[in-house]
Amino acid sequence: MSIGHTLLGLLESGPRHGYDLKRAFDERFGHDRPLHYGQVYSTMSRLLKNGLVEVDGIEAGGGPERKRYAITDAGITDVAQWLAQPEKPEPYLQSTLYTKVVLALLTGRNAADLLDTQRAEHLRLMRELTQRKRGGDLADQLICDHALFHLEADLRWLELTAARLDQLGKAVRA
């Protein structure tokens, strides 16, 4: 999952301090893997260098951790591009996809479109594998089937999430 894009997305609702960003990330996406402070500050300095965020204010007497960051126009464009770009279908994508869906809902973007785009990308790869299976020997067939079953599981998750978008939208905005 792209921590940089996730932190950028969280900044879209307004400027935040680094520690505040870490708390927001952990609360929504950290689950069993909270961010280290070091990760937050190294990510923010990279985003700053690339012009995707700017320093909105520094609290008096503070070190780097007292900086308040704001997203720039380039940052907003970067988040939009990341959300619109489907992920390469592979097993265990759920955490990235979940993050994208929640950020889309939080920032008022079209989460249903995001899910549809990903769905089409998954089915495109499933078609390729099905085609390969038709021309292959038993070993090819078994290897392709393994990938197909995993992709199918992801696709079911995408469909279920699409069916629950209204509910999820209310929950994340509450």
Partner 1 sequence: MTPAGSLLVASALRKSYGPTPALDGADFSIHPAEVVAVMGPSGSGKSTLLHCLAGIVQPDSGTVRYDGRELSSLPDRERSALRRGEFGFVFQFGQLVPELTCLENVALPLRLSGTGRKAAEARAAEWLERLEVDTVRAKRPGEVSGGQGQRVAVARSLVTRPRVLFADEPTGALDSLNGERVMQLLTDAARDTRAAVVLVTHEARVAAYSDREVVVRDGKARDMAGAA
**Where does this chain bind partner 1 (CB under 8 A)?**
86, 113, 116-117, 119-124, 126-127, 129-130, 134, 148-149, 151-152, 155-156, 159, 163
**Shortest distance in whole angstroms from residue 65 CB to partner 1:** 42
Per-residue DSSP letter, 37: H
Give the residue with the Cβ less far from partner 1, 58 or 163: 163
CA geometry: angle at 173 spanning 28 and 168, to 5°? 75
Spatial strand order in the sheet of 16-17? 16-17, 67-71, 53-58
Cβ proximity to partner 1: between 56 and 116 the closer is 116
Nearer to partner 1, 19 or 149 (CB): 149
Rounded to whole angstroms, the Cα distance separating 64 from 135 reads 59
CB of 154 to partner 1, least distance (A): 9
**Residue from 48, 50, 21, 49 nearest 37 by CA:** 21
Please state the closest distance from residue 144 (CB atom) to partner 1, in A: 10
